[in-house]
Structure 1
Amino acid sequence: MMKSYKAGGTRVSMRLKGAGLALALATTQIGLSGCMSDGGSEVDVLALAAQTERPDVLYNQGLANLEGGRLGEAAAKFEAIDRQHPYSEWARKALVMKAFTNYRSGAYEEAINAAKRYLSLYPGTDEAAYAQYIIGLSYWRQIPDITRDQADAARTAAAMREVIDRYPDSPYVEDAQNKLRIARDQLAGKELQVGRYYLERREYVASINRFKNVVDVYPDTRHVEEALARLTEAYYAMGLTGEAQAAASVLGQNYPDSQWYRDSYALLQQGGLEPRAGGVGSWFSTAARKLTGA
């Protein structure tokens, strides 16, 4: 019987072995009746079972707990295999499932640690791509709003890039690409926010550096339009009209119907100016080529 688990929009299939699961349940029943007759607690029974059951039985119990939503019990079963039968085939399978179970329960740091350990021990296995994907998903779930530090967005981007580059044929690539784009957009948005902060304080050089960084590092994000408009505004405020005209020109070449371009054009007209391309070899000509793909 096939049981499916889904993480981050990607379905991961796990096969529950019927015979193994039946044996696991039978073993638990026998142990429970024996220990309870001696006055032991149910906790003692479960602890004893974890110490004596075969790894395949523990694994199937873990899957059954996972399917039933008992994530803590599932994680404990997979941990027992990893601890009692290290470096076995069952330990390998249990380790990636422990990472997934921790991810499902919101224990993201534990999921990341388990997945990283899996990759260090078993980098060439079929599940390696999924372990890397779990790392990316765990960072993804921790990305805060744009006003806060974006370290987890950067980690998400790096982890998902690993999925794409190292496992290009894996079923996780499409979702990894989508989350990479969103994480990069988040990082660009943070740069833009900091740039606006400096611009409002009239710290123009600092703001210009941030706006240029948006264009240089994140040219495929939705924040480039505003970054170019803010460059026009910052240069114009500094009296560097040639640079302001060049920034507006790049904006107009790439986003001619943008409200940001109309606002920048109106700003230049206040001084009797209009957009004008930057000189060959300038930052503006390089930015224009980068954005157009020329």
Structure 2
Amino acid sequence: MKNTVYILSFLLVLTSCSDFQKALKSEDTATKFQLGTTLFEEGKWNKANRLFAQIVPEYRGKPQAEKLMYMYAMTFYNMEDFYLSAYQLERFESSYPNSEKVEEAGFLAAKSAYKISPIYSKEQKETIEAIEKLQLFINRYPDSQYLSEANNMVKELDLKLERKAYEIAKQYNKITDYSASIKSCENFILEFPGSVYREDIFFVRLDSAYKFAINSVESKKQDRIKEALTYFQAFKKSYPKSGNMELAESMNTELVDLQQQFNTKS
């Protein structure tokens, strides 16, 4: 009995493969459309995609074009070819604005862009583009069933940009480019006022300013000490119970002593 089942299954696969190959080589677009639709419904995205790719130009302007273009775009999404799914889904959305699938296509186009976004340590051009596309979807479909997921993706991408900017500021501090670190921290505070890294960035700014001041040439040291002291006051006011407060107080003490030395000399 088991052998019979295996044989029947094997023959079914052979027949299926044979039908696909015949359709692939056929000149009959209707056959390709019909089999491609069947394969799409069975979740055989790669095979469906190969058939659809052959007939897309032939169906432009025809009644079946909307269904074909939707399925074609979705094969790329389901194959996780997100560059092409983003392009094809956006193309569908603009070509068929009255389609019942237009909202879904718009969301999945934006989600494809989200999927393309790289890890935080890499260049974030795609992340910025994904945020823009998701925000455009949110604005266009404020009552969408996909709204919650879209908002969550935006938050995740925003956090990735924050992490990138935070790590850049820390890296400047690490390589002793204190001026660049301070500037990066200032930009971060302005750009991400509600960031989870805000306390850390306040401390990195103070630490960079402190090191910048004590390692400066004499002619610039006094002004830089004054600047570092203002950053200490900002850190203390904003985060009085910070785990870095003891270290910050130590920096402040040293800076005050140096400032007094300058005042004594003058």
- Please confirm whether the aligned pair reaches a TM-score higher than 0.5, indicating the same fold: yes
Provide the secondary structure at the position in 1 that maps to 2:120.
Answer: coil
Task: Give the SS at the match of 2:47.
Answer: helix
Deviation sequence 1:189-235 (CA, Å, 0-9, x none): 11122222222222222222222222222223322222211111122
Cα distance change on mapping 1:127 and 1:249 into 2, 3 Å: farther
Shift in Å at residue 265 of structure 1? Answer: 4.0
Task: Identify which of 94, 105, 117 aligns with 1:143.
Answer: 117
Q: Relative to 1, partners in 2 of residues 1:132 and 1:244: Cα closer, same or farther, differing over 3 Å? A: farther
| Alignment: residue pair count | 233
Answer yes or no: is 1:173 the counterpart of 2:144. Answer: no
Q: Which SS does the other structure have where 2:161 is aligned? A: helix
- Give 1:1-294 correspondences, 5 Å limit: 43-48=21-26, 51-53=29-31, 57=34, 60-66=37-43, 70-79=44-53, 82-123=56-97, 125-239=99-213, 240-260=224-244, 263-272=247-256
Distance in 1 (CA, whole Å) between partners of 2:92 and 2:189 is 37
Q: Does the C-alpha gap of structure 1 residues 75 and 231 become closer, same or farther in structure 2, counting only changes over 3 Å?
A: same
Q: 1:96 to 1:45 in 2, by over 3 A?
A: closer
Q: Deviations over 1:93-127 (max 9, x none)?
A: 33233333212212111111102212332345443
Which deviates more from structure 2 when the two are superposed, residues 91-100 or residues 221-230?
A: 91-100
Instruction: Give the direction of change, closer, same or farther, for the CA distance of 1:131–1:262 in structure 2 (3 Å limit).
Output: farther
Amino acid corresponding to residue 237 of structure 1 in structure 2: K
Question: Structure 2 CA distance, aligned partners of 1:126 and 1:254?
Answer: 51
The superposition leaves residues 108-167 of structure 1 with CA deviations (integer Å, 9 ceiling, x where unpaired) of 111111022123323454433322322332232233333222222222212211121221
Give the conservation status (yes or no) of the 8 Å contact 1:58–1:78.
no
How far does residue 246 in structure 1 lie from its aligned partner after superposition? 3.9
Q: Read off the aligned partner of 2:38 and give its amino acid letter.
A: Q
Taking structure 1 as the reference length, the TM-score comes to 0.66
Letter in 1 for 2:22: D
Give the aligned partner of residue 291 of structure 1: none
AA matched with 1:160: L
Letter of the 1:96 partner, please give it: Y
For residues 236-284 of structure 1, the C-alpha deviation after alignment (integer angstroms, 9 at most, x for no partner) is 22333444344444444554443345543443244349xxxxxxxxxxx
User: Equivalents in 1 of 2:32, 2:67: separation in Å?
Assistant: 14
What is the Cα deviation at residue 77 of structure 1? 4.7
Gaps of 5+ in 2: 1-11, 214-223, 258-266
Q: 1:62 to 1:269 in 2, by over 3 A?
A: farther
Name 2:6's counterpart in structure 1: none
Provide the rounded CA distance (Å) in 2 between the counterparts of 1:141 and 1:168: 22
Letter in 1 for 2:195: T
* CA–CA distance in structure 1, aligned partners of residues 68 and 253 of structure 2: 67
Report the TM-score when normalising by structure 2: 0.73
SS at match of 1:271: helix
User: What is the distance in 2 between the residues matched to 1:214 and 1:262?
Assistant: 24
User: Structure 1: where are the runs of 5+ without partners?
Assistant: 1-28, 274-294
Question: Which one has a larger percent helix, Structure 1 or Structure 2?
Answer: 2
- The residue identity in structure 1 corresponding to 2:76 is N
Task: Provide the secondary structure at the position in 1 that maps to 2:117.
Answer: coil
Choose 1 or 2 for highest CA Rg. Answer: 2
Q: Is the 8 A contact 2:23 2:35 kept in 1?
A: no
In the alignment, the residues of structure 2 paired with residue 260 and residue 125 of structure 1 have an alpha-carbon distance, to the nearest angstrom, of: 57
